[in-house]
Structure 1
Amino acid sequence: MISPLLGLKGSSNRQQIDDRLQYHPDVYEFYTDANDFTPEGYQHLDEAVQYVQSKGISKIVIHHPMVFKKWHSEVVAPENYFPELYRFIETSTEQLISLAQERNIQVLVHGGYAGKEVQEMVNLYPNVEAARQAVYDRLDRFARAGGNHIMFENSIAPVFAYGHPEQENEILSHNYRLAFDTSHCFIEMHGDNQALQASLKHLREHVVHYHLVDSLGQTHDSLQLGKGKIDWAPVLKLLNPNATSIYEINLHDQSNCHEQIESHHYLVDLANKLAQGA
C-alpha cells in the first residue's frame, strides 16, 4: 500500500503558489485558463513553473484549460461546427506540450467534461461510437506529440468515461497514459463503490496521475475527502504506487488550500490505520 503523496493544486498566481508551497508538497498541479495562452500569459506560466521547480518540486502537472469563452474544452467538438474552440484546443495543447518538454513536466488533457453541452456535441455525430472515435483520433495525435509528457483524464460523458469495462478496454488499446479522477468515475457509476474499485484495478497499470476527490456520487461536487460517499480504504489499496496524485477539492478561498490539506490528513490517517491493521 502506498504512503499518500501531498499533491496540491493552484493557479500560476504567486499568492496561491506560496500558500501551497508552505506545506512542502510532493506534487503541484497548475490550473490554467485561456489567459495563460496569450504571449504574456504563457511567459507568466513558464516563469511560475520555474519558480515552483526552484523550490525543489520536480513533480509538476499543468491542467489544460477547462473553458474557452462560453464552452468547455471538449475535444469531441467537431471542427466544422466549433472552429474557434477546435483551434484553441489544438494551439493550447501544442503550447503546453512544448512547455512540458522544455521543463520536463506533465500536461493533463481532459478526454471530455460533462453535461448538456457535451451531449449536444456528441449528437452532431452519427452515433456515440463515431463521437468516441473522433475523440480517440484526436487524443492519439496529442499522445504522439506529447509522448511521456501528456496524460488524459476521464470525464462524466459518453466519450471518455471510466467505469465501463468495454470502454475501458477501448481506452487501454490506445496505450494512453491515464489520469484518474475518483469522483468522475464514482459519479459516472452513480455512487457505486464496487464499480469504482473495479475501474481502479482494471486501469491501474496505465494510470500515471490521480485526482483524489470525494463525491456523493450524483453531481460534480468535488468534496473534501471523508465528506462524500467514496470508500477510501479499498481505493487506497488500488492506487498505482508509481503514479502522482493531487487533491482536487473545491476551496472556500482560492488563496487558502485548507480543504486540500485536510483531505491529505484524512488519507494519511487512514493509511496509518490500515498499516496497523485497525
Structure 2
Amino acid sequence: MIMPMLGLKGSSARQQIDDRLQYHPQVYEFYTNAADFTPDGIAHLDNAVQYVQSKGIKHIVIHHPMVYKQWHSEVVAPESSYPDLYRFIEESTAALLKIADRRNIQILVHGGYSGDEVEEMIAHYSSLHDARQAVYKRLDRFAKEGGNHIMFENSIARVFAYGDPEQEDEILSHHYRLAFDTSHCFIEMHGDNQALQKSLEHLKSSVVHYHLVDSMGLTHDSLQLGTGKIDWASVLKRLNPDATSIYEINLHDQENCKEQVASHRYLTAIAKQIQQGD
C-alpha cells in the first residue's frame, strides 16, 4: 500500500484552479458542462489545461460533461430517439480527445448515470442485455479512438455498474481502462462494504483512476471521507498503486475545496495507521 495522492477537482475557471493549486495537488480533474463545447469554450478549456500543466501538475483528467439540455449524458441513448443528445456526446468526446492527444492528458466518460431517465432510455431496447450491448459497442469505439487517453467510469445505472461479478467480467472482457467511483459501487451494492471490497479487488488491475467519495449507501450523496459508511482502511488496501485518484466531494463553496482537502487528510491519517500496524 502506498500513501494516497492528493487529487482535486474543479472547473476551468481560474479562481477555482488557483484555489486547488495552492495545495499542490498531484492530480487535477476538470469538471465540464455543455457551455465548454463552443469554439470559445474549447479554446478556454485547452488554455486552462496548459495553465495547470505550467504549474507542474503532470496528471490531468477532463470529466466529460454530465448533462446536455434536459438529459444526463447517457451513452445508452439511441440515436434514433435522442438525436441531439447522441450528437452532443459524439462531438464533445471527439473535442476532448483532441485536447487529450495534444496535451497528453486523460478524459473520463461515464458508462451511464442513474435514475428514471436512463430507465426510459433502456426501454427503447428489447432487453437490458441489448441496452448493455449498445453501451459496450459505443464505448468500444470511443476506446479505439482514444487509446490510452480515455477511461470509463461506473454508474448506478444497470447498463454500466460495478458490484455484480458477472457484469464486471463482461466489462473486463472489453479491456477498457476503468475509472472507479467508490460511492457509485457502494450505492449500487446497497451499502455493502464487503461487496465494494470484492469489486475493488476484482477490477483492480484495469483501474487507472479513482473517484474517492464517501456515501451512506442509499443515494448519490457525494460525502466527505469519514462522514459516510465506507470502510476506508479496507478500500485503501485494494487500490491499484499505479492509478491516479481525486476526491470528488460536494463542496459548500465551489471556490473553496476544503472538503476535498479534509478528505485527503482523513485518508492519509488512516494510511499512516495501517503502515504503523504493519
For Structure 1 versus Structure 2, the TM-score category normalised by the shorter chain is over 0.9
Map of 2:270 onto structure 1: 270
Query: Is this contact kept in 2: 1:29–1:62, CA < 8 A?
Result: yes
Cα pair 1:2 1:239 within 8 Å, conserved: no
Match of 1:93 in 2: 93
Deviation at 1:133, TM superposition (A): 0.2
CA distance in 1, matches of 2:156, 2:123: 16
Q: How does 1:108-257 map to 2 (within 5 A)?
A: 108-257=108-257
Distance 2:116 2:215 in 1: 20
Structure 2: 5+ residue stretches without partners:
none
User: What's the TM-score once normalised by structure 1's chain length?
Assistant: 1.00
Partner SS, residue 183 of structure 1: helix
Residue 8 of structure 2 corresponds to residue 26 of structure 1: no
SS in 1 for 2:48: helix
Please report how far the alpha carbon of residue 150 of structure 1 lies from its aligned counterpart in structure 2 after TM superposition: 0.1
Question: Take 1:119 and 1:224, find their aligned partners in 2: how far apart are those partners?
Answer: 29
* Number of matched pairs: 278
TM-score by length of structure 2 reads: 1.00
CA RMSD of aligned residues (A): 0.6
**CA–CA distance in structure 2, aligned partners of residues 256 and 59 of structure 1:** 21
* Partner secondary structure for residue 62 of structure 2: strand
Query: Hey, what's the Cα distance between the residues in 2 that align with 1:96 and 1:120?
Result: 28
Shift of 1:2: 1.7
Residue 58 of structure 1 corresponds to 58
Distance 2:219 2:123 in 1: 22
SS in 1 for 2:277: coil
SS of 2:237 mapped into structure 1:
helix
Shift of 1:146: 0.1
Show the 5 A alignment for 1:31-42. 31-42=31-42
SS at match of 2:179: strand
Which whole-Å CA distance do the structure 2 matches of 1:119 and 1:255 have between them? 34
1:122 and 1:176 map into 2 onto residues whose CA distance is 22
Identity of aligned residues (%): 75
1:77 partner amino acid: A
